[in-house]
Amino acid sequence: MTAGVEIDAGRIATAVQACPHVAGLHAGRFGEIATYLPGGRVPGVRIRPEEITVGVVGHYPAPVRDIAQEVRAAVGAVDRVVHVWIGDIADIPQPA
């Protein structure tokens, strides 16, 4: 993404939630990982001028490294550092 282009927190949230190793977004213990927009809030994605932080819940047994790589790929090319914060790991439901 080129400098000066608006980064869309909603698009990032949608793309990250579609990742196979991601069970969902995680806003952090106190909800600090979020982007506030007119008319709403995007939990799990925090955009700052120097960085983007994405908080997720990963799927077990995916390695943390794989989850982070998948999330960064979903965010795409941006003009700042992308931090991936894994707040929890979810078990894959077992068939009954």
Q: What crossing angle do the helices spanning 9-17 and 64-75 adopt, rounded to 10°? A: 140
In the chain, what is the greatest distance between 2 CA atoms, to the nearest angstrom?
51
Asked which of 30-34, 37-41, 84-88, 90-94 is least confident by mean pLDDT, the reply is 90-94
CA distances from 17 to 5, 7, 20, 41 (A): 23, 17, 8, 16
Q: Please answer whether residues 86 and 56 qualify as being in contact, where contact means their C-beta atoms are separated by less than 8 angstroms.
A: yes
| 8: CB partners within 8 A, 6+ apart | none
Say whether 57 sits in a helix, a strand or coil: strand
Reported as a single tens digit per residue, the pLDDT across 59-87 is: 999 999 999 999 999 999 999 999 999 99
Query: Which is it for strands 34-37 and 40-43: parallel, antiparallel or unpaired?
Result: antiparallel
- State pTM to two decimals: 0.89
Average pLDDT in the chain: 92
- pLDDT band at 94; cut points 50, 70, 90: low
**Predicted pLDDT of residue 50:** 95
